[in-house]
A and B are shown apart, each in its own frame.
Chain A
Amino acid sequence: MKPSVEFRNISKSYDNQTLVIRDLNLSIERGEFLTLLGPSGSGKTTALMMLAGFEMPTTGEIFVEGQPYSALPAHKRDIGVVFQNYALFPHMSVAENIAFPLQVRGHGPKDLDRRVKAALDMVRLPEISARKPAQLSGGQQQRVALARALVYEPKIVLMDEPLGALDRQLREEMQIEIKSIHARVGVTFVYVTHDQGEALTMSDRVAIFRKGVIEQIADPQTLYDRPCNAFVATFIGDSNLLRGTIVGRGGGQATVAMPGGGTLDARAGDNGAGKDAYVSVRPEKIDVSAGCIDRGVGNILAGTVDKTVFFGDHVKVSIRLEGGQLLAVKTGTTEPYKNGQTVTASWRAEDCVAFTAPPTRDTAVVETTVQV
């Protein structure tokens, strides 16, 4: 079976100088929920806009179900789009908005009513068909936009940061709602967001964009547990990134010497030949205990408590390691730590990865994201 969508060698430049998208190859399965995730300016929205037909690729070709699509005007593509600000037509009622794509396609009035009603039922808003968009709450507008993009049963539905304007609680509700609608209608969803939590919750697969290229494309679990480079490791979830020097390598493992003394065993994240290492370890994988003890399991580093922050269900402890680097640890609330107290942090070798290439995001920025 042909993939639902295929980007083949797509590049895009607005000024014929800098590439917003660089040689993108991406294949999306039928019925898949794929999220394009990345910081702003990474090219994810441009990719979506090219698929929708609002932007033209500079080179390359986009195929939808095997057909070349790049030269096809947007209105002939049969792709549903939910816009960031919903783009509901303010002069039309909810029902008129949803009926619009059907009228354009020449559906009769009877069929129209039935399908508009069905679409509103699907997004659980049967009562508001006569209202104007301005009279709706943000969440309701979001649902109407979704109903409008689905009512004509397009092959693919594109969503461009559709939940960006909603508050946190509503956003979480809508994530579940969209996921369940996706499960019901079974069409291909391509979703753009810069919110990693949203991406991990909803997607079958997530493509991580950075500077116009995909860094990694995988299911959420793999992304979290097996990031392919330091950028993905720090972009998805919290991650410590400890700098050290590689002293041994082999069998998919690397041994890293820390500047403050001691060595770490880690999975080798890449095959780089450099000596500089960036060891990524997630705060919740680290055990911390008071005093200077050696329990003999995996990696052990000593340090002093720099700061603790209470979060209710957990405590974040920031430890200043020997050598000056900070290590963030997420732990249970059992033991209260004092600032300056000597502690030992330990974690299993398989819970950390050593990369030779630095994350191109500024390391200082990475450190502040995991600081507490």
Chain B
Amino acid sequence: MPNIARDQARSERAAKFRALMLVVPILLFLLVVFIGPVVKLLSRSVDDRDVASALPQTAQALAEWRWGTPLPDAAYGAMVGDLRAASTPANLAPAAGRLNYSLPGMRALLMTTRTKLQALDRPEADPKSILISLSAKWAEPATWANIRQAAGPITDFYLLTAVDLKRDFDGSIARVPPSQSSFLPSIRTTFVIAFTVTLLAIVFGFPFAYLMASATERVAGIMMFVVLLPFLTATMVRILAWGILLGREGVINYGLLSSGLVDGPLDLLYNRTAVNIALLHIFVPYMILPLYSVMKTVPLSHMRAAASLGAPPFTAFRRVYLPQIAPGLAAGSLLVFIQCLGVFVVPAILGGAQEQGLPSLIAHYVNKTLNWGLAAALSVILLVSVYLVYWLFVTLTKSASLSLGTR
């Protein structure tokens, strides 16, 4: 008898296992193609091994040194040894780049010192004076402190930089002077745009969804068509459409000029309003569709019951209607908000310099300066924000799945 019980437990497990095997492929696929790479990118935000691998002796010699104490003499010899060991400039390039991020001028210092050292005979004899003779910067403790801080293997340099903070040589964290800072304003821009557009989507999407849910089937069908058609049209097409509508030589200016309302074309493009209008246009279906699908399920009798029980319309709306459609409102707000946080193309085409947020910065550091560490750190900030909002949604609605609702 126990054998039978075991067989049966096993066959029940086997059924679960077979079902799980159907889910495994997508999990593996996403792990390899998407999640793995994202984790790898994020890990670059704390990864700091370039300097230690290019200047191993120096890193070791500086390991015990503290800011404010005299520099150990061994450091000079180690540096000379490391630089002479780098047979080509390319061997030194990643480390030089990294040191240059935290202390401008370091790349040039390392490269020229290396070249000059190659020309010298036996510089090991008196490394300290030779190095200082090659560049006065080698006499400055900041140069060495910079190397020590970058000796890895992990660092908080990129993450601090991404929020306009820096670690002073004595180890304390300080604000970057406002003149040098560039990241916090971008982060603020991203959030302000996301909040504005989500709010606009609620303000416009809610009555529209309500209208749809209470309209006759035919009218609701037409409205659904009006929502879905732009939704299925490629974002690029919609962005260009807004560009052509709002441009200096665009449709609106053409209309205004030919009707004589204005004397010269208005600057409607490359500002916050243009970005907000286009983003609302692109993302408002994500608000309307879930709202509509929950509004359809709220029976008419509930509002009537509330009225018959003496609730004035607004009270009935707040106490009876709103709680029932809250899941749709939450889903819609989440979808709009997190997509706005990640939006990149719309500000790039329709916005001015003031509208470039975190995603634009991330793209910039990858494309232009190849500063992967900083791009990764900015990605960490963006991703943590997105997942905080998502986590809030999952806890509030007890559902991990983001559905637009079944029609």
Residues of A within 8 A of B (CB): 9, 56-61, 68, 70-71
Q: Give the CA-CA distance A61 to B118 in the complex, in Å.
A: 86
In the complex, are the beta carbons of A56 and B1 less than 8 A apart?
no
**Residue in chain B with minimal CB distance to A55:** B12
In the complex, are the beta carbons of A59 and B5 less than 8 A apart?
yes
Contact with A along B34-76 (1 / 0, CB 8 A): 0000000000000000000000000000000000000000000
**Which residues of chain B are near A70, meaning CB under 8 Å?**
4, 7-8
**Residue in chain A with minimal CB distance to B12:** A56
In the complex, are the beta carbons of B4 and A58 less than 8 A apart?
no
Contact with A along B5-18 (1 / 0, CB 8 A): 10111011000000
A228 to chain B, nearest CB (A): 29
Q: Give the CA-CA distance A205 to B8 in the complex, in Å.
A: 30
Q: Which 4 residue pairs are nearest across A and B when measured between Cβ atoms?
A: A56-B8, A59-B5, A71-B7, A56-B12
**Which residues of chain A are near B12, meaning CB under 8 Å?**
56
In the complex, are the beta carbons of A71 and B4 less than 8 A apart?
yes
B247 to chain A, nearest CB (A): 52
Q: Give the CA-CA distance A304 to B384 in the complex, in Å.
A: 78
Q: Give the CA-CA distance A242 to B9 in the complex, in Å.
A: 47
In the complex, are the beta carbons of B11 and A71 less than 8 A apart?
yes
In the complex, are the beta carbons of A9 and B1 less than 8 A apart?
yes
Q: Give the CA-CA distance A56 to B5 in the complex, in Å.
A: 9
Q: Give the CA-CA distance A57 to B12 in the complex, in Å.
A: 10
Q: Give the CA-CA distance A70 to B8 in the complex, in Å.
A: 7
**Residue in chain B with minimal CB distance to A71:** B7
Q: Give the CA-CA distance A61 to B12 in the complex, in Å.
A: 15
In the complex, are the beta carbons of A68 and B1 less than 8 A apart?
no
In the complex, are the beta carbons of B11 and A60 less than 8 A apart?
no
**Which residues of chain B are near A57, meaning CB under 8 Å?**
8
List 23 contacting pairs A-B, 8 Å CB cutoff, sorted by A. Answer: A9-B1, A56-B8, A56-B9, A56-B11, A56-B12, A57-B8, A58-B5, A58-B8, A59-B1, A59-B4, A59-B5, A60-B1, A60-B4, A61-B1, A61-B4, A68-B4, A70-B4, A70-B7, A70-B8, A71-B4, A71-B7, A71-B8, A71-B11
**Residue in chain B with minimal CB distance to A73:** B11
**Which residues of chain A are near B11, meaning CB under 8 Å?**
56, 71
Q: Give the CA-CA distance A70 to B11 in the complex, in Å.
A: 10
B376 to chain A, nearest CB (A): 46
B288 to chain A, nearest CB (A): 31
A58 to chain B, nearest CB (A): 7
B158 to chain A, nearest CB (A): 49
**Which residues of chain A are near B8, meaning CB under 8 Å?**
56-58, 70-71
Q: Give the CA-CA distance A59 to B12 in the complex, in Å.
A: 13
**Residue in chain A with minimal CB distance to B2:** A59
Q: Give the CA-CA distance A121 to B7 in the complex, in Å.
A: 43
**Which residues of chain B are near A68, meaning CB under 8 Å?**
4
Q: Give the CA-CA distance A343 to B8 in the complex, in Å.
A: 62
Q: Give the CA-CA distance A286 to B394 in the complex, in Å.
A: 64
Known pairs A56-B8, A56-B12, A58-B5. 4 more at Cβ < 8 A? A9-B1, A59-B5, A71-B4, A71-B11
**Residue in chain B with minimal CB distance to A59:** B5
Q: Give the CA-CA distance A136 to B90 in the complex, in Å.
A: 79
**Which residues of chain B are near A60, meaning CB under 8 Å?**
1, 4
A73 to chain B, nearest CB (A): 8
**Which residues of chain A are near B7, meaning CB under 8 Å?**
70-71
Q: Give the CA-CA distance A340 to B5 in the complex, in Å.
A: 63
Q: Give the CA-CA distance A71 to B14 in the complex, in Å.
A: 12
Q: Give the CA-CA distance A71 to B7 in the complex, in Å.
A: 7
**Which residues of chain A are near B9, meaning CB under 8 Å?**
56
Taking each of B1, B8, B11, B12, which has the highest tally of chain A beta carbons within 10 Å of its own beta carbon?
B8
**Residue in chain B with minimal CB distance to A16:** B9
Taking each of A9, A56, A61, which has the highest tally of chain B beta carbons within 10 Å of its own beta carbon?
A56
Q: Give the CA-CA distance A151 to B5 in the complex, in Å.
A: 34
**Residue in chain B with minimal CB distance to A70:** B8
Q: Give the CA-CA distance A10 to B74 in the complex, in Å.
A: 81
**Which residues of chain B are near A59, meaning CB under 8 Å?**
1, 4-5
**Which residues of chain B are near A58, meaning CB under 8 Å?**
5, 8
**Which residues of chain A are near B4, meaning CB under 8 Å?**
59-61, 68, 70-71
B8 to chain A, nearest CB (A): 4
A338 to chain B, nearest CB (A): 41
Q: Give the CA-CA distance A68 to B11 in the complex, in Å.
A: 15
Q: Which of B262-300 contact A (CB under 8 A)?
A: none
A77 to chain B, nearest CB (A): 14
Q: Give the CA-CA distance A61 to B8 in the complex, in Å.
A: 10
**Which residues of chain B are near A9, meaning CB under 8 Å?**
1
A12 to chain B, nearest CB (A): 10
**Residue in chain A with minimal CB distance to B8:** A56
B400 to chain A, nearest CB (A): 24
Q: Give the CA-CA distance A70 to B1 in the complex, in Å.
A: 12
Q: Which of B66-120 contact A (CB under 8 A)?
A: none
Q: Give the CA-CA distance A60 to B8 in the complex, in Å.
A: 10
Q: Give the CA-CA distance A70 to B4 in the complex, in Å.
A: 8
B295 to chain A, nearest CB (A): 28
B362 to chain A, nearest CB (A): 48
**Which residues of chain A are near B5, meaning CB under 8 Å?**
58-59
**Residue in chain B with minimal CB distance to A11:** B5
**Which residues of chain A are near B1, meaning CB under 8 Å?**
9, 59-61
Q: Give the CA-CA distance A226 to B8 in the complex, in Å.
A: 39
Q: Which of B7-34 contact A (CB under 8 A)?
A: 7-9, 11-12
Q: Give the CA-CA distance A33 to B9 in the complex, in Å.
A: 31
B343 to chain A, nearest CB (A): 42
Q: Give the CA-CA distance A125 to B4 in the complex, in Å.
A: 44
**Which residues of chain B are near A71, meaning CB under 8 Å?**
4, 7-8, 11
Q: Give the CA-CA distance A60 to B7 in the complex, in Å.
A: 11
Q: Give the CA-CA distance A66 to B154 in the complex, in Å.
A: 69
Q: Give the CA-CA distance A57 to B11 in the complex, in Å.
A: 11
Q: Give the CA-CA distance A56 to B7 in the complex, in Å.
A: 10
**Residue in chain A with minimal CB distance to B7:** A71
**Residue in chain B with minimal CB distance to A56:** B8
B13 to chain A, nearest CB (A): 10
**Residue in chain A with minimal CB distance to B4:** A61
Q: Give the CA-CA distance A60 to B4 in the complex, in Å.
A: 7
B3 to chain A, nearest CB (A): 10
Q: Give the CA-CA distance A70 to B10 in the complex, in Å.
A: 12
Q: Give the CA-CA distance A33 to B8 in the complex, in Å.
A: 29
Q: Give the CA-CA distance A42 to B8 in the complex, in Å.
A: 23
**Which residues of chain B are near A61, meaning CB under 8 Å?**
1, 4
A74 to chain B, nearest CB (A): 11
Q: Give the CA-CA distance A219 to B212 in the complex, in Å.
A: 60
Q: Give the CA-CA distance A71 to B10 in the complex, in Å.
A: 10
A46 to chain B, nearest CB (A): 14
Q: Give the CA-CA distance A57 to B7 in the complex, in Å.
A: 11
Q: Give the CA-CA distance A58 to B12 in the complex, in Å.
A: 10
**Residue in chain A with minimal CB distance to B5:** A59
Q: Give the CA-CA distance A57 to B6 in the complex, in Å.
A: 11
A7 to chain B, nearest CB (A): 13
